[in-house]
Amino acid sequence: MKQIKGGVTAAKGFEAAGTAAAIKYQNRDDMALIYSKTPCVTAGVFTSNVVKAAPVLWDKEVVTKGDPVHAVVINAGIANACTGKPGFDICRQESETAAKALSIPDSSVLVASTGVIGMQLPMDRVAIGIEKLATLKNDSLENGTTAAKAIMTTDTIHKEAAVTFEVDGKTVTIGGMSKGSGMIHPNMCTMLCFVTTDLAISKELLQKALSENVVDTFNMISVDGDTSTNDTLMLLANGEAGNTPITAEDENYEKFKEALNFVNTTIAKMMAGDGEGATALFETKVIHAKTKEDARILSKSVICSSLTKAAIFGHDANWGRILCALGYSGVEFDPEKIELFLESKAGKIAIYKDGMATDYSEEEATKILSEPAVTALVDMKMGDAEATAWGCDLTYDYVKINADYRS
């Protein structure tokens, strides 16, 4: 497996484009297209929120039906959530408009939206945007990046990752892009994320690999504890790598899972580190837990703690808050037995042991916490399971961004 440059256009046969449709933002791209001439098998995971945005309902129908997919149309600015039947009709119109512009079947277009909840999409401007995207699309890495930038809302960096690996002597590529900065607390998947691959694989195994992988990637990040109405993760496979299609959980399937995990982990961490207003990626790794599920719950509890996140922002080694967050996670353990370390590029120190603070240096701790990526390492001393969760610090800018998001 080798990491390469690029995103959704890295894999063979995938094209992309971004354009400005003035849906809500002015003077920037706000619509994107992913296109594959070759039909794709598609896997998806969607928000667990009872309040599902119209595009989520549309895509679930398309993915469940299982017809081949050729295109995804995405917009930023308006989420098309809490928009009732009119909102769902817009999805149908988007799909029909794209199908006509791209000369592909009606049922082969997925749609996705992100932005303010409750507003209706202006279909006239969306239609013009789709026409433009259809003419602009190509398979360059640059166009992949343009698409990744067009779907940003409060994101400060665009998010892409890609890898190649070998199957039967054929080079297979997986590439993805995502947006996500606020309302991030995925509970089936995450904000908008699109992963493309030229691997030939059955729809069943594609979905299985994706569903299993999100548990340890996108479901392990949180920015603010809010599970969005629009969370969508799509994986499109067009088979252009030319490998013998994967139809069993064999060695090639394992290779694919490993590569997918790399792309998804990379993108998930980028989202956590680019959390709204964040100045630091905050990782919590729990080792020697009794069960994998315990390790997940414990690590996620720490990165979700508002108090811990604020302390990270202040570069303050207020480790009591980490202990506190482990303690209310719901997992049973003996606080006298566990050990806590803080770690970053600047070093690693043991900070808590035998039920009390160690004799650590506050100065050294602050130095460690002043890096742009910091880790709390928790040794539960109970078993062999481990898990990692990723979040960010809680800052003035998070409040600023969300106190007047709509204005």
Chain positions 34 to 63 lying near a second copy, rule: CB under 8 A, are 48-52
**Residue 218 within binding range of a second copy, rule CB under 8 A:** no
Per CB under 8 A, does 402 bind a second copy? yes
Cα separation, 359 vs 318, in Å, equals: 14
**Which CB atom, from 256 or from 398, has the smaller least distance to a second copy?**
398
- C-alpha–C-alpha distance, residues 59 and 232, integer Å: 9
Minimum distance of a second copy from residue 304's CB (angstroms): 7
The smaller minimum CB distance to a second copy, of residues 1 and 123, is found at: 123
Nearer to a second copy by Cβ, of 83 and 143: the residue is 83
Binding segment (CB under 8 A) for a second copy, from list 9-17, 18-26, 153-161, 349-357: 349-357
320 and 357 Cβ atoms separated by less than 8 Å: no
Catalytic annotation, pick one of 190, 196, 227, 375: 190
Helix (H) / strand (E) containing 233:
strand 232-237
Count of chain residues binding a second copy (CB under 8 A): 70
Residue 11 CA to residue 38 CA, distance in Å, equals 12
- 190 classed as catalytic: yes
Q: How many helices (H) and strands (E) does the chain have?
A: 11, 15
Residues 305-324 that bind a second copy (CB under 8 A): 305-307, 310-311, 313-314, 316, 318-321, 323-324
Q: Do the bridges between strand 232-237 and strand 281-289 make them parallel or antiparallel, or are there none, so unpaired?
A: unpaired
Q: How far is the CB of 316 from a second copy (least distance, A)?
A: 6
* Minimal distance, residue 314 CB to a second copy, in Å: 3
In this structure, are residues 162 and 176 in contact, taking their beta carbons and an 8 Å threshold?
yes
Distance CA(362)–CA(360), nearest Å, equals: 6
Question: DSSP secondary structure string, 73-109?
Answer: EEEEEE---S-HHHHHHHHHHHHHHHHHHHT--GGGE
Residues annotated as part of the active site: 190
List residues near a second copy by CB under 8 A: 48-52, 79, 81-87, 116-119, 182-183, 185, 187, 224-229, 304-307, 310-311, 313-314, 316, 318-321, 323-329, 331-333, 335-336, 352, 354-357, 394-396, 398-407
